[in-house]
A and B are shown apart, each in its own frame.
Chain A
């Protein structure tokens, strides 16, 4: 009952005209950015974050959440139409989406992607609504060792799971921690790695880093690739064709239900996220299908399964972010940075101190998913037309937006240079297969991690045993260590097998 009254209160916050406008702008821009190959939700959030400067915190976060799940859906547009996923979470959608488009069923595939995203997203919001307050209450008993353990878990799982090489993921996370160290030490006031630059005394903000690593680096890398958008011109996306048939629904219903559950649960895990959720959901749909041989040839449930899961995962990812204050992915790390920019401290107390924000956000997730569905059904031909705008023009516009956005952060050219610098670093990281996500997550968590580490060691008088002496932190630390060791052992076994062959 309390949840229901909170939700009604949330709706009163979310459906104010200004918040609704921010939500629509977020969903539309997110869908467009997400559809551009290479620019996924993280890049979308980083590039468009400056648009929320000066906005009311609730409106700002509602817009960013809209960008997040808009981008999550947008990735499927190019997956289906030109066999080029907008981001990694849409990779599995190409498997059956593109064959469907080749069979003249692009509309049905796009429609199924939209409806399954809506169902996955909305059902996950219901689960989130009941689970998050309970978890937040439980998290009130957490002390510095538990928080330190949680942050280590978030970093190690993300580092171990992104990219092809876990060790490169860890290196990326460690570089992020280094960037978090730059600035005045919070306890002693000693400048660390500032090299006399006054601008660095307050530390490196996550926004130039995210805009550089996810925005500029992606533009530079994709400028080398040729993506053919010609196929988009011949696609028939009339309104009627966007509705999947009854047979499509019958084939996809279990894939959607499974995708929602799997997506939400995996989305909550730090590091795993939407990409892994879509892979698992697709695999499960194929295994349980009566006609697994049709997967990869244009099975409609092959579109429904990954699309449901990746949108459900994007909602699931809000659970650890809002209840524990520990983001599990690059996108949620950017959202956490944005929350802190708005003076909102994610964590269990957020539910008590800022109920208008929390319940407004939850209600906006319902509204946002509905807006997303409506926008897609009405404006999909417009989105497809936007993609026909030459990629060069879009890259130039995004680059200009990034630089102006970087300047607007502190009205300083230093941030523009910093963004460019991180763009170059991100370019080399991409080229050398170092994932950027762990670096951004570590940068966002760095100060909190150092703080909890210090507090824990003060409590224990210098003994690291404190992380293993308390049951919750001990369990989390063991899992975190497992997240480091397991991928390395797996890689070693794989290498040994390859060299034996």
Chain B
């Protein structure tokens, strides 16, 4: 955790530097009042100070340095879920939102399940879009992107 905290702290300081420098051209003080850059500057400074305190703290705290928090398994799940969601969003214009979301739910079910049951997955792919359609499109009047199937 110490190493990760130092890395995240350094990234936060870099981000705080960006916030601070980008706030100045926005105008810190205009017409006797704080300008649009005033709060970003304040946030940037406070963020840099907080991140610095966190980094310094890692040098004092020796107890919590052993446990790894980011696992390979976690990264695989994260990338699969993120990738599948992005593909779903891209497919929306072709298949329509309801169908795409149904396919995504089926994929996620296969991904999260320990025992892969095809029947349950097919059931989910068919019923979930129907439920979502009834709640959002019929009940709440949300207009979803329509695909080649006409819904």
Contact = CB atoms under 8 A, between A and B. Distances in A.
Interface string B64-104: 00000111011001100110011011001000010001101
B118 interface: no
Interface in A388-432: 390-393, 395-397, 399-401, 403-404, 407-408, 411, 413, 416-417, 420, 423-424, 427, 431-432
Nearest to A394: B112
Nearest to B9: A171
Interface in B1-20: 1, 4-5, 8, 12, 19
Label chain A's interface by main secondary structure.
helix
Nearest to A217: B78
A219 B88 CA distance: 18
A167 interface: yes
Contact of A171 (B54, B71, B82): B54
A431 B61 contact: no
A432 B4 contact: yes
Contact of A458 (B33, B53, B88): B33
A236 to B, nearest CB: 27
B124 interface: yes
Contacts of B105: 396-397, 399-400
A431 to B, nearest CB: 5
A185 B135 CA distance: 36
Interface string A250-266: 00000000000000000
Contact of B26 (A192, A413, A488): A192
Contact of A396 (B51, B112, B140): B112
B12 A224 contact: no
A365 to B, nearest CB: 25
Interface in A457-471: 457-458, 461-462
Nearest to B81: A220
A59 to B, nearest CB: 13
Given A399-B108, A413-B92, A431 B69 contact: yes
Contacts of A171: 12, 47, 50-51, 54
Interface in A180-195: 181, 185, 187-188, 190, 192-193
B60 interface: yes
B63 interface: yes
B151 to A, nearest CB: 14
A224 B97 contact: no
Interface residues of A, number: 64
Contact of B135 (A51, A188, A192, A457): A51
A491 B57 CA distance: 10
B77 A392 contact: no
B19 A178 contact: yes
A392 B114 CA distance: 8
Contacts of B111: 223, 392
Given A190-B26, A224-B73, A399-B104, A50 B50 contact: no
Given A420-B82, A431-B70, A432-B8, A174 B43 contact: yes
A187 B29 CA distance: 12
Given A167-B57, A399-B104, A458 B32 contact: yes
Contacts of B71: 224
B2 to A, nearest CB: 12
Nearest to A175: B47
Given A54-B140, A223-B112, A399-B105, A178 B43 contact: yes
Interface in A439-467: 450, 453-454, 457-458, 461-462
A499 B60 contact: yes
Given A54-B141, A170-B50, A431-B70, A396 B40 contact: no
A450 B22 CA distance: 18
Given A53-B140, A178-B19, A424-B82, A404 B97 contact: yes
Given A171-B47, A178-B40, A403-B85, A50 B124 contact: no
A177 interface: yes
A1 interface: no
A376 B145 CA distance: 39
A187 B97 contact: no
A165 interface: yes
B62 interface: yes
A287 interface: no
A413 B40 CA distance: 28
Q: Quick one: which of B1, B81, B104 has the most chain A CB within 10 A? A: B81
A397 B74 CA distance: 20
Nearest to B18: A193
B39 A450 contact: yes
B124 A393 contact: yes
A432 B54 contact: no
B50 A167 contact: yes
Interface string A183-223: 00101101011000000000000000000000010011101
Interface of A: 50-51, 53-54, 165, 167-168, 170-171, 174-175, 177-178, 181, 185, 187-188, 190, 192-193, 216, 219-221, 223-224, 226, 390-393, 395-397, 399-401, 403-404, 407-408, 411, 413, 416-417, 420, 423-424, 427, 431-433, 450, 453-454, 457-458, 461-462, 488, 491, 495, 498-499
10 contacts: A167-B50, A177-B39, A224-B71, A397-B124, A404-B142, A404-B144, A408-B136, A431-B69, A433-B1, A491-B57
Interface of B: 1, 4-5, 8, 12, 19, 22, 26-27, 29-30, 32-36, 38-40, 43, 46-47, 50-51, 53-54, 57, 60-63, 69-71, 73-74, 77-78, 81-82, 85-86, 88-89, 92, 97, 101-102, 104-106, 108-109, 111-114, 120, 124, 128, 132, 135-136, 140-145
What are the 10 tightest A-B residue pairs by CB atom distance, in nearest-first order? Answer: A392-B112, A185-B36, A396-B108, A392-B113, A408-B142, A396-B109, A396-B105, A400-B105, A174-B47, A190-B36
Given A188-B36, A221-B74, A399-B108, 11 more contacts: A171-B51, A187-B33, A220-B74, A220-B77, A400-B101, A403-B85, A413-B145, A453-B34, A454-B38, A495-B60, A495-B61
